[in-house]
Amino acid sequence: MSKRPINTYASFIFVFCSIMVTMRPIALIAGQVEVERVPLNTAVQAFDEGTTSLLDGNFGAAIAAFEKADQSGWASAELYYNMGLAYHRLNRFGLAVQYLEKAKRIAPDDPKILHSLTVAAHRQADRFSQLPRPFWQKMHVWVENQLPIGVAFWIGIVLWFGLVALITGKLLSHWHGEWWRRARILLGVSSFLLIFYSLTTSAWPPTNERAVILSTEARMHDIADESSDEVLRVHEGLVVLVKNRSTDWALIEVANGSRGWVEANLLGTI
Amino acid sequence: MKESLFRLIWILLLGMVSTTSLVVAQTANVQASISSNTIGTEESVTYTISVSGSDGSNLETPTAPESDGLTLIQALPSTQRSVSIVNGQMSQSFSFSWIYRPTREGSTSIGVATIKVGSTEYHTSSASVTVVPQNQRQTQRRQTDPFSSLFGNTTDPNPEPPPAPDENDIFIRATPSARSAYQGEQVIIEYQLFFREGIQLRQSRLTDSWDAEGFWREELDVETRPIPRIVIENGLRYNTIVLKRAAVFPTRAGEMSVDPLKIESEALLPFGSRDPFQSMFSLRNRFSQVQLASPRISIDARPLPADAPPNFDGAVGKYAMTVTADRTNLNVGESIQLSITISGKGNLATLSSPTFVVPNSFDLYDPEISSVLERSGKELSGSKTFRYVLIPRSNGSFEIPPIEFVHFDPGTKSYRSTKTDSTPITVTGTATTPDVVVATTNGMPVDDFAPLFTSASNWKEASPTSLHDSYWVYLLVLFPSILLLSVVVVKQRRDKFTQDISWARGRRAHPLSKKHLKQATALLAAGNVPGYFEELERAVLGFIGNRLNVAERGLTREKLDSMLAAKGVEMELRDRLRTLLDSCDMGRFAPSSVTPENMESALDDASSLIPDVDEQVAP
Who wins on pLDDT, A143 or B434? A143
A48 and A117 co-located in one domain: yes
Instruction: Please tell me what DSSP assigns to residue B59.
Output: B
pLDDT digits (tens, 9 = 90+) for B99-129: 888 888 888 888 888 888 888 888 888 888 8
> Is residue B287's pLDDT more than 90?
no
B140 three-class SS: helix
A126-to-A118, A216, A231, B43, B159 alpha-carbon distances in Å? 14, 12, 14, 87, 80
CB-hemisphere CA count at 13 Å for B90? 4
B315-334: average pLDDT: 89
Give the residue from A36, A81, A101 showing the smallest Cα distance to B456: A81
Which residues neighbour B584 within 8 Å (Cβ) at sequence distance 6 or greater?
Answer: B533, B534, B536, B537, B602
Interface residue of B335, B453, B461 to substitute, partner A, most A CBs within 10 Å: B453
Cβ <8 Å between B457 and A78: yes
Cβ <8 Å between B477 and A157: yes
A72 and A144 co-located in one domain: no
The answer as to whether A254 is a domain residue is: yes
**Which residues of A are less than 8 Å from B388 in CB distance?**
none
Under a CB-based contact definition with an 8 Å cutoff, are residues B587 and B602 in contact? yes
Cβ <8 Å between A90 and B335: yes
CB-hemisphere CA count at 13 Å for A10? 8
Cβ <8 Å between A120 and B449: yes
The answer as to whether A144 is a domain residue is: yes
Is B363 at the interface with chain A, CB within 8 A? yes
B177 three-class SS: coil
> Looking at the DSSP assignment, which residues form a beta bridge with residue B238?
B196, B231
Determine what percent of chain B is predicted with pLDDT higher than 70: 84
Under a CB-based contact definition with an 8 Å cutoff, are residues B133 and B43 in contact? no
Distance from CA of A112 to the nearest CA of B (A): 5
B-chain residue closest to A86, CA distance: B452
The answer as to whether A216 is a domain residue is: yes
Q: Could you tell me the pLDDT band of residue A24, with boundaries at 50, 70 and 90?
A: low
**Which residues of A are less than 8 Å from B333 in CB distance?**
57, 59, 89-90
**Among B333, B365, B456, beta carbon nearest to A44:** B456
Q: Could you tell me the pLDDT band of residue B481, with boundaries at 50, 70 and 90?
A: confident
A186 and A237 co-located in one domain: no
B274 three-class SS: coil
Cβ <8 Å between A202 and B474: no
pLDDT on residue B22: 38
Who wins on pLDDT, A12 or B229? B229
Distance from CA of A266 to the nearest CA of B (A): 19
The answer as to whether A100 is a domain residue is: yes
Cβ <8 Å between A168 and B483: yes
> Is residue B3's pLDDT more than 70?
no
Give the residue from A222, A202, A206, A262 showing the smallest Cα distance to A238: A262
**Which residues of B are less than 8 Å from A85 in CB distance?**
449, 452
Distance from CA of B526 to the nearest CA of A (A): 46
Cβ <8 Å between A51 and B452: yes
Question: How many folded domains does chain A comprise?
Answer: 3
A124-153: average pLDDT: 86
Distance from CA of A223 to the nearest CA of B (A): 31
B-chain residue closest to A197, CA distance: B468
State the CATH number of the domain containing residue A264. Answer: 2.30.30.40
**Which residues of A are less than 8 Å from B460 in CB distance?**
74-76, 106
Domain boundary among A155, A188, A203: A203
B-chain residue closest to A173, CA distance: B491
A100 and A165 co-located in one domain: no
pLDDT digits (tens, 9 = 90+) for B348-389: 989 988 888 888 778 888 888 888 989 988 899 999 999 888
**Among A57, A60, A203, beta carbon nearest to B432:** A57
d(CA B175, CA A155): 87
* Helix H or strand E encompassing B398: strand B396-400
The answer as to whether A168 is a domain residue is: yes
Cβ <8 Å between A57 and B450: no
A169 and A220 co-located in one domain: no
B-chain residue closest to A148, CA distance: B467
A48 and A115 co-located in one domain: yes
Under a CB-based contact definition with an 8 Å cutoff, are residues B273 and B279 in contact? yes
**Which residues of B are less than 8 Å from A79 in CB distance?**
456
Distance from CA of B453 to the nearest CA of A (A): 6
Cβ <8 Å between A28 and B488: no
Cβ <8 Å between A150 and B467: yes
pLDDT on residue B315: 93
A-chain residue closest to B469, CA distance: A28
A45 and A106 co-located in one domain: yes
Which residues neighbour B389 within 8 Å (Cβ) at sequence distance 6 or greater?
Answer: B335, B336, B337, B338, B364, B365
The answer as to whether A4 is a domain residue is: no
Which residues neighbour A260 within 8 Å (Cβ) at sequence distance 6 or greater?
Answer: A220, A221, A222, A231, A232, A251, A252
pLDDT on residue B12: 42
Domains and CATH numbers, chain B: 26-138 (2.60.40.740), 170-302 (2.60.40), 319-428 (2.60.40.740), 501-617 (1.20.120)
Q: Could you tell me the pLDDT band of residue B20, with boundaries at 50, 70 and 90?
A: very low
Distance from CA of A177 to the nearest CA of B (A): 19
A-chain residue closest to B468, CA distance: A199
Distance from CA of B462 to the nearest CA of A (A): 5
Q: Could you tell me the pLDDT band of residue B316, with boundaries at 50, 70 and 90?
A: very high
> Looking at the DSSP assignment, which residues form a beta bridge with residue B152?
none
> Is residue B26's pLDDT more than 70?
no
Who wins on pLDDT, A25 or B337? B337
Is B475 at the interface with chain A, CB within 8 A? yes
pLDDT on residue B422: 86
Tally C-beta pairs within 8 A across A and B: 161
Distance from CA of A39 to the nearest CA of B (A): 11
**Among A89, A91, A116, beta carbon nearest to B450:** A116
Domain boundary among A185, A203, A221: A203
Domain residue limits at A217: 209-269
Which amino acid belongs to residue B38?
Answer: T
A92 and A156 co-located in one domain: no
A171 and A229 co-located in one domain: no
A225-235: average pLDDT: 89
The DSSP result for B483-535, as a single string, is HHHHHHHHHHHHHHHHH-HHHHHHHHHHHHHHHHHHHHHHHHHHT-HHHHHHH
Residue B136: phi, psi to the nearest 5? -85, -5
B-chain residue closest to A27, CA distance: B471
Cβ <8 Å between B363 and A58: yes
State the CATH number of the domain containing residue A117. Answer: 1.25.40.10
Is B431 at the interface with chain A, CB within 8 A? yes
pLDDT on residue B149: 43
A219 three-class SS: strand
pLDDT digits (tens, 9 = 90+) for B394-424: 777 888 888 999 999 999 999 999 988 888 8
**Which residues of B are less than 8 Å from A167 in CB distance?**
484, 487
Cβ <8 Å between B484 and A168: yes
pLDDT digits (tens, 9 = 90+) for B571-608: 899 999 999 988 898 888 888 888 888 888 888 888 88
How many residues in chain A?
A: 270
The answer as to whether A143 is a domain residue is: yes
Cβ <8 Å between A112 and B451: yes
Distance from CA of B216 to the nearest CA of A (A): 34
**Which residues of B are less than 8 Å from A56 in CB distance?**
393-394, 431
Cβ <8 Å between A32 and B471: yes
> Is residue B153's pLDDT more than 50?
no
Domain boundary among A123, A154, A183: A123
**Among B363, B476, B477, beta carbon nearest to A60:** B363
Residues 249-308 of B with CB under 8 A from A: none
How many residues in chain B?
A: 619
**Cβ neighbour number for residue B235 with a 10 Å cutoff:** 21
What would you measure as the largest C-alpha separation in chain B, in angstroms? 186
Residues 483-522 of B with CB under 8 A from A: 483-484, 487-488, 491
A180-196: average pLDDT: 93
A193 and A224 co-located in one domain: no
Highest-confidence range of B179-183, B264-268, B491-495, by mean pLDDT? B179-183
B275-292: average pLDDT: 63
**Which residues of B are less than 8 Å from A37 in CB distance?**
461
The answer as to whether A2 is a domain residue is: no
Distance from CA of A79 to the nearest CA of B (A): 7
The DSSP result for A167-213, as a single string, is HHHHHHS---SHHHHHHHHHHHHHHHHHHHHHHHHHHS-SS-EEEEE
A143 and A183 co-located in one domain: yes
d(CA B294, CA B258): 10
Under a CB-based contact definition with an 8 Å cutoff, are residues B229 and B240 in contact? yes
A172 and A188 co-located in one domain: yes
Which amino acid belongs to residue B5?
Answer: L
| β-bridge pairing B127-132 and B38-40 | parallel
Distance from CA of B369 to the nearest CA of A (A): 20
